[in-house]
Structure 1
Amino acid sequence: MSSLRHAENKSLWVVRELGLPAIVRTCVSCRTDRHHATGKIRVNANGKQLDVWLLVGCARCDRTSKIPVHERVHVSALDHDRLVRFEHNDPAVVRELVHAQPRLDWTGTWELETDLSFYDVEKADQPLDVFVRFELPAPIRVEKLLTEGFGLSRPAVKRLVDSGRIRLPLAPDARARADFTFQSSGPNSHAPGPSGSSEK
């Protein structure tokens, strides 16, 4: 029988954030299309009107560019506390503004932490409910999470999914970015599949 370090055959997998994603936009100097947040937000006042920009640096030539957040907005239209956070380069606001960009590259921004050091999904004789929690909205292929979480190859994961040993609420090739639950069942288990939420 497999030995589990977690209680009641339940496991928590956490997609941990390692850093902010790269912003995909073309540099006007070197034409590279990857930029990284500098951690700075610039606020410029012109009378009662404000401009707010997120400052980003080119990954190749380090040229600084400005991404508009607010343009010619009246000072009264902005929440005072949020304006103060802009002015102080609040890291949480920088993160929010980066995540709001339309095109992002999430490569190298996450790692998967699990408590399955002694669990062998291919030999387990009892069900295991796995809850996957995301600390960041990175779109990650479900198959990638399974290969990393169980330490298996892609063919092994496909075999276990096809045989019903791993029961998923979405397709293995779907990209999840929100919390979901799945089940690894024993060879004779007929428990109903789990439910969860995801975004492709």
Structure 2
Amino acid sequence: MPSDDTDIDRKALWVVRELGLPAIVKGCVSCRCTRHHPTGKFRVNANGKLLDVWLLICCEQCGGTSKIPVHERIHVRALDHDRLVRFENNDPALARRLVMDAALARRASYRLDWHGTWQLETDMPFYELDREDAPLEVFTRFELPAPVRVEQLLTAGFRLSRAAVKGLVGAGRIRLPMAVDARVREDFSFQVRSASRAKWRGSDR
């Protein structure tokens, strides 16, 4: 988003830190529990020239193992050799990425529970928001693609109530590249404008 405040010299970095991988919510084949955790392992099964590849997950309650289909009946030549080797070697980076893959979750009919997987770290103390003469640009970086509501980030980062955050957005103090109630999972930046600048812009509406 282009800046109306050309003299922004205060910048802050907010980081959505990873605390853990999301839980996989699907029915267990052995008990009534619906929460699973990744094992970090794959199973590859060959039937002639066709391959099946599954991501293995573990039930939180009974410890039973379930399979999430990653590739089904794919021709061996259609699967990149390096990717196949990574499956066979239980590559941790590939397993981590697939655990958080929203498209795979939709395709395999389960959902991801991101509760408790992240926390926000900020290098900007709350009191700086009260400095009316100093606009600020905040860069928000995600260590994992957790879908977090923008409003939740702002209330945590500024230590304000939801009503106060919405009031600042409505008054033009906080300028966002998306709606305040949107969910984000990728890096973005936003601006906090001085009170006098926000009032001046508001008079033009």
- Residue 111 of structure 1: how far off its partner (Å): 1.6
Q: Give me the whole-angstrom Cα distance separating, in 2, the residues matched to 1:91 and 1:180.
A: 27
Q: Which runs of 5+ in 1 are unaligned?
A: 1-6, 194-200
Q: CA 1:192/1:63 → structure 2, altered by over 3 Å: closer, same or farther? A: farther
Segments of 5+ residues of structure 2 without an aligned counterpart are 1-7
User: AA paired with 2:72?
Assistant: E
Q: Does 1:113 align with 2:121?
A: yes
What one-letter code is carried by the residue in structure 1 that aligns with 2:136?
L
AA in 2 matched with 1:36:
H
The answer (yes or no) to whether the contact 1:120–1:150 under 8 Å persists in 2 is no
Match status 1:32 vs 2:33: yes
CA distance in 2, matches of 1:166, 1:137: 23
Aligned counterpart, 1:163: 171
Q: In structure 2, what is the Cα distance between the partners aligned to 1:19 and 1:94?
A: 14
CA distance in 1, matches of 2:48, 2:137: 58
Higher mean alpha-carbon deviation, 154-163 vs 170-179, is at: 154-163
Distance 2:118 2:145 in 1: 10
Distance of aligned partners of 1:171 and 1:188 in 2 relative to their CA distance in 1, 3 Å threshold: same
Measured after TM superposition, the shift of residue 160 of structure 1 is 2.0
Pick closer, same or farther for the CA change 1:179–1:145 going to 2, 3 Å: same
Separation (CA, whole Å) in 2 of partners of 1:147 and 1:131 = 16
Q: Are 1:179 and 2:187 matched, yes or no?
A: yes
Q: How many angstroms apart in 2 are the aligned matches of 1:43 and 1:192?
A: 63
Q: TM-score, normalised by structure 1?
A: 0.83
May I ask how many residue pairs the two structures share in their alignment?
Answer: 187
Amino acid at match of 2:91: D
Specify the SS of the correspondent of 2:130. Answer: coil
Aligned counterparts, 1:116-195, within 5 A: 116-117=124-125, 119-190=127-198
Secondary structure at the counterpart of residue 189 of structure 1: helix
What amino acid is aligned across from residue 31 of structure 2 in structure 1?
C
Asked if structure 1 preserves the Cα contact closer than 8 Å seen for 2:25 and 2:34, the reply is yes
Moved more, 157-166 or 57-66: 157-166
8 A contact 1:131–1:181 mirrored in 2: yes
**Equivalent position SS for 1:97:** helix
CA distance, structure 2, for counterparts of residue 118 and residue 65 of structure 1: 45
Aligned-residue identity in percent = 67
Distance 1:32 1:133 in 2: 34
Letter of the 1:26 partner, please give it: G
Q: Structure 1, residues 12-68: CA drift from partner, whole Å, max 9, x if none? A: 212122221111211122222221111111112233332211000112222110111
Change (3 A) 1:52 1:29: same
Paired residue for 1:87? 88
Tell me, what secondary structure is at the counterpart of 1:14? strand
TM-score norm. by structure 2 comes to 0.81
Q: Secondary structure at the match of 1:28?
A: coil
State whether residues 56 and 66 of structure 1, in contact with CA within 8 Å, keep that contact through their aligned partners in structure 2.
Answer: yes
Contact kept? 2:155, 2:162, Cα under 8 Å: yes
Query: Matches of 2:200 and 2:75 in 1, distance apart?
Result: 55
What is the distance in 2 between the residues matched to 1:148 and 1:190?
Answer: 23
